[in-house]
Structure 1
Amino acid sequence: MIQEAANAIKEADYLLISAGAGMGVDSGLPDFRGSEGFWRAYPAAKRLGLRFEELANPRWFEDDPHLAWAFYGHRLNLYRKTQPHEGFAKLLKIAQDKKDYFVFTSNVDGQFQKAGFAEDKIYEIHGSIHFMQCTQPCSEVIWSANGVEVEIDEENFKALEPLPRCINCSAIARPNILMFGDWNWVDTRAREQESRFAQFLHHIDGKLVIVEIGAGKAVPTVRMMDEEIAKDFGATLIRINPREPDESDVPLAYGGKEALDMIYTCYQKS
């Protein structure tokens, strides 16, 4: 199967890379799979009886902004420190061999940019923790989180003052991430990315291969998009997932880094 994946990639003119939370696991990032997985990463959330989908809700920025920023501040600090695993670099080398490539991801961690993928070749459908917006929101302005520092009282799981503030109205700021039950997400950046993604698809005039890494069925957005594009373009869908690689042309039941390492070795030899 690995050789089959490498051959399909070698024969393709265009590469679509899609990724869910499983892509970051080999870099040391949690994937929040199920309540127990989330609570292992955030024991304080377990003490509070909050599941991921309950804590990742914009209401906390109004009800308890110190709790909200303890969660998102910790993630911001974690993602800043985390280095992408070697699979990213190998995937980028393959992508640069092609006529064109694009990345479609539900991850908000900015790992693809950190690994060297071009900013204008990435569509982050749930936004990015590395950008900020107003909680109200007072406008559709989005700004970089560079320079935003959040100190956290780990024992009490509370962010310390000063909390991040809107650059326009001084209300509490929040990450530019699509949360659960979120009606205030400012999606201007995501819409621009979506437009570039649509242009990529529109200009495909050859063989397309899709490499999907770590996208599960619990939040099936990435999987559904890949299956739809594979059908529309007659593309080969390579699905890398240790638990749910099914419903694809080339199912690979491996972790992301392991599969990409093996594919890259075969790709170089073919």
Structure 2
Amino acid sequence: MYDLKPIAEKVHGADAILIGASNGLSITEGLHLFADNQAFADLFGDFKDKYGLRCLLHGMGARWPSEEVKWAFWSRLIHHYCGQYQPTQVMQDLNAIVDSKDSFVVTSNGECHFELSGFAPEKIYEIEGTWLTMQCARPCHDTLYPTLEWAERMAAAEQGGRIPSHLVPRCPRCGGPMEVHMAAGSNMVPDHGARQRFQKFLNQYHEKRLVVLELGIGWHNQLIKAPLMRLVAREPNAVYITINLGEVYITDTIKDKSFGLDGPLGEVLSALREQMCTVDRKVQIGDFPHDAGLKQE
């Protein structure tokens, strides 16, 4: 395992924490969008047999034969991974690490597990949409509508991989089909409100002690990883912590203010939470350095 003491000290001394998260976090929680595994077979074995469904992501972008089948897929997915979700150990550890500090979450994950784990929804920017909102598929307007309650009703009424026609969501303005916000592709309505709140957070902590905590993001993720590293490069007091299994990448421009941890996300966060408790105890008895040094990656 790693020397987590300097990391815990930086997190403890931060004015705010910016969390970036992608597929690695979802996989740690047992949600693997790309896998044809047992969990996928247990949940969608019938769709796999009938339609050749290869994984969850395939289903999210599929051209289904009818709205009744499309919403059978989506309602089953949302019911299982959102309606029945209970905060996992990794989310409990993350909450404890952030503790009472101001924080913001930027994620390409759409299952809303941050919000369902107690993170403030107004401090979350899901840049590729979420499963818990839907929009007009055209779209004829840019309003987003809550999905969970509707999805629970559809899931309860599903029979044979279809939902009853009267439960198919329709646009309240044009009467056309609806799409889950995350699956709308080029027609996806942007969440301007979340983007503005994110920018306000960045403005608030400009030149402050900002810790960027990146969870399960590979080097190829240009939506989150690249902008986060650019942010750290231009912020003089920012610290970059990236945790990812099997693939840790840090650009040379920020190596001297970064930590890279290659390991299972759940194990690393659990150990960091424990180290944070040690730091907290030292603070309480006055045994804490005023300017904890960085360990260069």
TM-score (norm 1): 0.83
Query: What's the CA shift for 1:8?
Result: 2.3
CA–CA separation in structure 1 for the residues paired with 2:244 and 2:34 = 13
CA–CA separation in structure 2 for the residues paired with 1:159 and 1:240 = 41
Identify if the C-alpha distance between structure 1 residues 86 and 38 changes in structure 2 by more than 3 Å, giving closer, same or farther: closer
Query: What's the CA shift for 1:199?
Result: 0.7
Greater strand percent: which structure?
A: 1
Cα RMSD of the aligned pairs, angstroms, is: 2.8
Aligned partners of 2:218 and 2:249 also within 8 Å: no
CA–CA separation in structure 2 for the residues paired with 1:142 and 1:268 = 40
CA–CA separation in structure 1 for the residues paired with 2:12 and 2:200 = 23
Does structure 1 residue 89 correspond to structure 2 residue 120?
Answer: no
CA deviation vs aligned residue, 1:149-169 (integer Å, no higher than 9, x gap)? 223899964444332222333
Q: How many pairs align?
A: 262
Q: Which moved more, 1:84-93 or 1:222-231?
A: 84-93
For structure 1, which runs of at least 5 residues remain unmatched after alignment? none
Give the match's secondary structure for 1:17: strand
Identify if the C-alpha distance between structure 1 residues 38 and 250 changes in structure 2 by more than 3 Å, giving closer, same or farther: farther
Equivalences for residues 1-270 of structure 1 within 5 A:
1=2, 2-28=4-30, 30-33=31-34, 42-43=44-45, 44-45=47-48, 48-50=51-53, 54-57=58-61, 60=63, 64-78=66-80, 79-98=82-101, 100-148=102-150, 149-151=153-155, 157-161=161-165, 162-179=167-184, 182-187=185-190, 190-204=191-205, 205-217=207-219, 219-234=221-236, 235-247=238-250, 249-270=258-279
Aligned partners of 1:38 and 1:51 also within 8 Å: no
Aligned partners of 2:106 and 2:125 also within 8 Å: yes
CA–CA separation in structure 1 for the residues paired with 2:276 and 2:145 = 39
Aligned partners of 1:27 and 1:82 also within 8 Å: no
For structure 2, which runs of at least 5 residues remain unmatched after alignment? 252-257, 280-297
Aligned partners of 1:17 and 1:211 also within 8 Å: yes
Aligned partners of 2:158 and 2:164 also within 8 Å: no
Q: Which moved more, 1:170-179 or 1:112-121?
A: 170-179
Identify if the C-alpha distance between structure 1 residues 82 and 252 changes in structure 2 by more than 3 Å, giving closer, same or farther: same
Percent of residue pairs bearing the same amino acid type = 24
Which is greater in Rg?
Answer: 2
